[in-house]
Each structure stands twice: as C-alpha cells, then as structure tokens.
C-alpha cells in the first residue's frame, strides 16, 4: 500500500468575515506522488518522505463537474462578492484588453506591478493577442486557503479544456471584494495543489 502523508489539513472556521454564504465548504482532496514533484519544489515538500510516498492536501471548497464556464461581463456590472465571480470579471477584463480594468481586478499591493507589466508595449500586445484567441475560461475548483491571518481563495482553471495546461489564480478579500493577487507566487503548497489539478489528482470529499 502506498503511504500517504497529510502536508496540510486546512479547515476554515465558521463565521469568517471573508466567507460568502453562497460558497460550499466541502473538502477537496489534492494528491501528488513524491516522484512527480518538480525539482524546484521537491526539496521542501518531499523532505522526510520516500520516493514511494504520496502527498495529500485537504482544502475546503468545491469541484465543478461539469466545469463552470466563465461568463463575459461588462465592466459596469462586475460582481466580486465571490472569487468565482471575480475570476469571471478578470477574464472579461483581459478579453476586453482594457488596461485600467485589468489593474483594478488586482489587490492594491499588486497594482503597481501590473501597471508596470502593461506599460511594456510588447507584453501588452502579446497578452491581447493571446486573449483574442482564447474562446472561454473553464473553472474546475474553488478552494479556501487560510495562511496565518489571511484567508485566500484558489481558483483552478484552464482555457483549453486540458488539465495539463491548468492554472491557479489567487484571490484575497479587500474592502468587501475579492481581488486577484500574486502574493503566494512562491508558496510551495500552492504549487503542489496546482500540480495535482494538472494531473487530475483531485476529488470532492
């Protein structure tokens, strides 16, 4: 039998101010074999485990089956009351190629970096060309991820209905709205969850 190890058991408490009543809080299980971990995160997460082991992560959240197809919304009708709705708005902003709208989908701490990113004409042109080709955004999982004093939402999605090309967006609750953030870009546990999503190793519990 393959040994399993819980690298985290995240049970978000009731009554958190950032929690929407419309969100489900079932458990989502992410699992990755140690041998499948990329070298960039292998050393930290695999420490103390053998090559035959499987690492598992449990987060509160929801698996969408079939996946949620993001609806294109107008800038003036944006809803950020949930991370799922905020992700729809994010996709709409990039599809529209509206730089200011893209910036405002991010948390205040991230906005200077995003403005700098969009100020590069080559990067901006490439982004617009990419999203012109993308027809839809599919969301498969929204999970709650508490870290220290903050609680984030993780939105696992892709644009091509191919799990191996999947991405994860991180949202933080700011001034009554969910805003996208890059704060967890170096979080090893987050990348383990993404790898599990890309490999199809997730299930609703």
Q: Which pLDDT value is given to residue 21?
A: 39
The per-residue b/e assignment along 109-147, b for 16 or more CB within 10 angstroms, e otherwise, is ebeeebeeeeeeeeeeeebeeebeeeeebbbbbbbbbbe
Q: Which pLDDT value is given to residue 40?
A: 59
Pairing relationship of beta strands 26-33 and 177-181 according to DSSP bridges:
unpaired
DSSP label at residue 165: G
Question: What's the average pLDDT block by block, 10 residues per block, for the chain (205 residues)?
Answer: 37 31 73 78 68 87 94 95 97 95 97 94 90 92 90 93 83 97 90 89 84
DSSP label at residue 23: S
Q: Which pLDDT value is given to residue 23?
A: 59
Rounded Cα distance between 49 and 31, Å, is 14
Q: Which pLDDT value is given to residue 39?
A: 67
Q: What is the pTM of this model?
A: 0.84
User: What does the block give as tokens for 199?
Assistant: 């490999």
């Amino acid at each position: 039998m393959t040994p399993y190890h819980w690298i985290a058991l995240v049970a978000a408490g009731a009554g958190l101010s950032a929690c929407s009543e419309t969100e489900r809080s079932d458990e989502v299980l992410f699992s990755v074999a140690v041998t499948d971990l990329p070298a960039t995160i292998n050393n930290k997460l695999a420490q103390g485990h053998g090559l035959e082991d499987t690492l598992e992560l449990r987060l509160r959240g929801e698996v969408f089956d079939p996946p949620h197809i993001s609806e294109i919304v107008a800038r003036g009708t944006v809803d950020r009351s949930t991370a799922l709705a905020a992700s729809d708005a994010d996709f709409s902003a990039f599809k529209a190629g509206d730089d200011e709208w893209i910036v405002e989908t991010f948390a205040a701490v991230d906005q200077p970096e995003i403005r700098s990113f969009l100020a590069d004409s080559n990067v901006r042109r490439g982004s617009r060309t990419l999203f012109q080709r993308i027809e839809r955004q599919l969301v498969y999982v929204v999970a709650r991820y508490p870290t220290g004093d903050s609680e984030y939402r993780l939105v696992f999605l892709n644009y091509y209905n191919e799990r191996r090309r999947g991405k994860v967006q991180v949202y933080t609750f700011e001034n009554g709205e969910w805003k996208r953030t890059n704060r967890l870009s170096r979080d090893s546990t987050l990348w383990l969850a993404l790898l599990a999503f890309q490999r199809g190793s997730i299930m609703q519990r």
